[in-house]
Structure 1
Amino acid sequence: MLMIFILVAVIGFIVLATAKFKLHPFLTLILAAFLAAFAYGLPAADIAKTISSGFGGILGYIGLVIVLGTIIGIILEKSGAAITMADVIIKVLGKRFPTLTMSIIGYLVSVPVFCDSGFVILNSLKESMAKRMAVSSVAMSVALATGLYATHTFVPPTPGPIAAAGNLGLESNLGLVIFIGVFVAAAAAIAGMLWANRFAKVQPDVVDGSSAQPTEQDFAAMKAAYGTLPSPMKAFAPIFVPIILICFGSIAKFPSAPMGDGSLFELFNFLGQPLNALLVGLGLSLGLLKGENKIAEFSERIGQGLTAAAPIILITGAGGAFGAVLKATPIGDYLGATLSALGVGIFMPFIVAAALKSAQGSSTVALVTTSALVAPLLPELGLDTEMGRVLTVMAIGAGAMTVSHANDSFFWVVSQFSKMSVSLAYRAHTMATLIQGVTAMTLVYILSLILL
């Protein structure tokens, strides 16, 4: 009982420090690692070594993957590739299903681009589509936000799911995480879209005389500001070619050896490693650079990517340090046995991630922290298999989207750009993320009954 009390106290410290006192998650997790180490009685001489090895161990592989994925996302964002993706989807689906079209656009764009940035980039498109299709911009906003949110929490190479997969020992099998994540994210996106349809006749309730709603002309002007937009092939290739390579790499390693053990296996085994696949994607993204001095522009995009990736990398490393401390204590055996007796199983990661997300606002922090916390518990929870670890990532992702409210920057991006009051944003956006999380977790539970 004392061990559980200590763990609850440490989790409480993380929530209180990040949510109330606004302490940076990196420092919070490092302090939590030290607190847990002392509270559980680890030898004082081993504490620093355990924390350092946990920090470095997780970043030794996954850190470079996060950096490359972020740089590719920055290049796609700055080049107008996200606009090209959206235009392609509109041409394919037409105007018959406006919220579905908006949801799919968000679903695809958020794989390489952070959901906050994705919403800002696509806001003018969303408003012009709402006007053309005679649909409430509130419904379109919720459809776009939930589509963006779905892949943001489930599908690598988005940094949060990558970090969670790394913490759970899946860094060499991201293809399986992507494969399962695509379907779970699709269920979450559909749930969000169906909720968005409830607001088809609800109009924004914030009147701001200083700035009118974006029009179709505004969207055309925004497109023009990007200059010549990249072709669909150039826009999609930097993100989908790496994903395909990663998936083929996972297929190559199936026990049935579908690609044999010769040169074809060696090729896809090499290209399918996430680091190598993303290097291919980075090479393909060079075709999106437009300036006369492409080397200078490329260097600038790398700098912007490093700036964006640095906090995520540090938080991921700190989560690894925290997890290493927990692995060195007996809490895993004790808590695992207790939870197994209660029959919590796959719901435990969801509950912890949902509590952390709702309390401190960041989905990435919830993904990293929860994955580090539950990693030592997997054997006792009956999840210590390849598929068990993948479904644990999915359960954590479902919790990490439950719920987006006033302490989440994404909440304010959606509400402010959509001219929604706080009360309307809670009814439309926050409830949508709750429904998304519960729907995704229900699917994960069903998959656990079938696959485990």
Structure 2
Amino acid sequence: MTGFPLIIIFILAIVLMIVMISRFKIHPFISIMCISLVLGLLAGIPIVDVTLEDGTTKAGIATVIGQGFSGTFTSIGIVIILGALIGSILEKTGAALKLADIVIKIVGKNHPVLAMELMGWVVSIPVFCDSGFVILNPIRKALVKRTATSSVAMTVGLAAGLFTSHVFIPPTPGPIAAANTLGIGDNLLLVIGLGIVCSICPLIAAYFYATFIGKKVKADDEFDTNAVSKTYEELVAEYGKLPNGFSALAPIIVPIILMALSSIVTMAKVTGAGASICKFLGTPIIALAVGTIFAVIQLCGAKKIDEFYDIVNDTLKTVGPILFITAAGGVLGKVIASSDMVNYISEHATVLSAMGIFFPFLLSAILKSAQGSSTVALTTTAGIVAPLLPVLGFTTPAQITLVCMAIGAGAMTVSHANDSYYWVVTNFGEMTPERGYKTWTVASLVMGIAAIIEIAILSLFIH
């Protein structure tokens, strides 16, 4: 099946998947895998690998499923494990509570959601949003206990901050790739500047939605407000003496610095042995491994190293379901990418070109919703739009940068079950998939709309 009927089948498949998970309580892993298999077969993916006349091989459905599953593990599997391990150690030593106290002293006790949102926004400039959420989640959880703030509001705020810079601001790979494809790769400073400006409205919209939905929906880790202060004081008393600021920060801040340094070296096109070392240490897996070493040192300082084996074991039990559900989402994305859907959208892009700045946004949003990856939506849409820039009337570097921003806004609209970040947010935020749709999925829609409205207004003044 190809063309528009495939689009309809895809929409129906997503609706059925949501119903299976939320209404019939079928496990997300089973639901996503079943939908992926059926959708792949209906989309015309062969049941076995087929050798074409030109000598190339078209992957069969089993191969596609395997590639989607393993690809997700390759990209963020170890990152999730190491990040969760760091978080477990920070909680065990009391460092997470120390970090919460530091944040409270900086921004004040009355604005924890805003604090998490801005923290996520800064961290995700050099760090992938998936990694950033895993790294910062221990601080989020500690702040929930420290401030009696809604866990859902804190989760949405953190996720939104990370997501915003992930799609708008280099050196995150998606915006860089899109900028290069659109021909403004030498104007990255302009892209960064406009990316910061275009972050304002989605951040504001996400903040208000987070505080709103936090009053309506509760996460599994919510507890009685009256017990919060007591619980926090009891926790502090259990640790005796909390780690110092540097010891508490090191497992989190060192990986962030390493990844940021790697991004700077890559963006500046520095070469040589030193640059290679920076890139190696800045690889998310290696950076988080270094962070884990600092966490283990912290565990030694707290004289709890004998508990390390049990901490690792408990962490693996916790992240196991997250990893497999996330990998299932990768399977769904791979099935879509292997079908004819993306080609069909690309071939009919000219029909939408009369929409001006809304065209790249809508195209990117369609691709994002269809296959799950914001980076894929950014890069694919940029490739489609680049030849059409003169037709759309965007010719100056500033105008083309706005097109890049519009693509980024579409790449956040919307995050749902085929997006690995959706599962990271919902699982680490301790929400069911149904609550995840009400909170994070709707938040990403609100953010995307707010972003494109701001970009459309800017397009009236930037020439």
**Which TM-score bucket, shorter chain as reference?**
0.5 to 0.7
User: Which residue is 2:53 aligned to?
Assistant: none
Q: Is the 8 A contact 2:97 2:139 kept in 1?
A: no
User: Which residue is 1:285 aligned to?
Assistant: 295
* Cα displacement string for residues 112-167 of structure 1 (whole angstroms, at most 9, x for unaligned residues): 5589876653334214xxxxxxxxx78xx8874553343465578xxxxx9x98xx
State the Cα distance separating 1:312 from its structure 2 match: 2.7
Once residues 406 and 331 of structure 2 are traced to their aligned partners in structure 1, the CA distance between those partners, rounded to angstroms, is 23
Q: Is the 8 A contact 2:382 2:407 kept in 1?
A: no
Output aligned runs, 1:229-244, within 5 Å: 229-244=242-257
User: Which residue is 2:266 aligned to?
Assistant: 253
1:126 and 2:147 aligned: yes
Output aligned runs, 1:178-327, within 5 Å: 188-193=202-207, 213-214=226-227, 216=229, 218-254=231-267, 256-257=268-269, 259=270, 261-289=271-299, 292-294=303-305, 296-327=306-337
Once residues 221 and 119 of structure 1 are traced to their aligned partners in structure 2, the CA distance between those partners, rounded to angstroms, is 19
Once residues 43 and 382 of structure 2 are traced to their aligned partners in structure 1, the CA distance between those partners, rounded to angstroms, is 20
Output aligned runs, 1:30-179, within 5 Å: 30-45=33-48, 46-93=60-107, 98-99=110-111, 103-105=114-116, 108=119, 111=132, 121-127=142-148, 144=154, 146-151=156-161, 153=163
User: AA paired with 1:104?
Assistant: A
1:346 and 2:361 aligned: yes
Once residues 194 and 326 of structure 1 are traced to their aligned partners in structure 2, the CA distance between those partners, rounded to angstroms, is 33
Match of 2:348, SS state, is: helix
Match of 2:45, SS state, is: coil
User: Which residue is 1:24 aligned to?
Assistant: 27
TM-score by length of 1: 0.65
State the Cα distance separating 1:39 from its structure 2 match: 0.9
Q: Is the 8 A contact 1:79 1:288 kept in 2?
A: yes
Q: Is the 8 A contact 1:51 1:325 kept in 2?
A: yes
Once residues 448 and 64 of structure 1 are traced to their aligned partners in structure 2, the CA distance between those partners, rounded to angstroms, is 41
State the Cα distance separating 1:264 from its structure 2 match: 1.8
Structure 1 unpaired stretches of 5+: 128-136, 157-161, 170-175, 203-209, 357-367, 414-421
User: AA paired with 2:246?
Assistant: M
Once residues 326 and 427 of structure 2 are traced to their aligned partners in structure 1, the CA distance between those partners, rounded to angstroms, is 19
Q: 1:197 to 1:44 in 2, by over 3 A?
A: closer
Q: Is the 8 A contact 1:68 1:278 kept in 2?
A: yes
Count of aligned residue pairs for this structure pair: 378
Match of 1:301, SS state, is: helix
Q: Is the 8 A contact 1:332 1:380 kept in 2?
A: no
Q: How well do the aligned residues superpose, as a CA RMSD in angstroms?
A: 5.0
TM-score by length of 2: 0.63
State the Cα distance separating 1:330 from its structure 2 match: 2.0
User: Which residue is 2:182 aligned to?
Assistant: none
Q: How many percent of aligned residue pairs carry the same amino acid? A: 27
Q: 1:411 to 1:280 in 2, by over 3 A?
A: closer
Q: 1:273 to 1:20 in 2, by over 3 A?
A: same
Structure 2 unpaired stretches of 5+: 49-59, 124-131, 167-171, 179-187, 216-222, 354-358, 388-400, 417-421
Q: 1:369 to 1:253 in 2, by over 3 A?
A: closer
Once residues 246 and 390 of structure 1 are traced to their aligned partners in structure 2, the CA distance between those partners, rounded to angstroms, is 23
Q: Is the 8 A contact 1:320 1:372 kept in 2?
A: no
Q: 1:146 to 1:412 in 2, by over 3 A?
A: same
Q: 1:217 to 1:121 in 2, by over 3 A?
A: same
* Cα displacement string for residues 421-449 of structure 1 (whole angstroms, at most 9, x for unaligned residues): x9xxx9x9999887556445656888999
Q: Is the 8 A contact 2:29 2:328 kept in 1?
A: yes
Q: Is the 8 A contact 1:106 1:145 kept in 2?
A: no
Match of 1:21, SS state, is: coil
1:330 and 2:319 aligned: no
Q: 1:54 to 1:449 in 2, by over 3 A?
A: farther
Once residues 142 and 49 of structure 1 are traced to their aligned partners in structure 2, the CA distance between those partners, rounded to angstroms, is 38
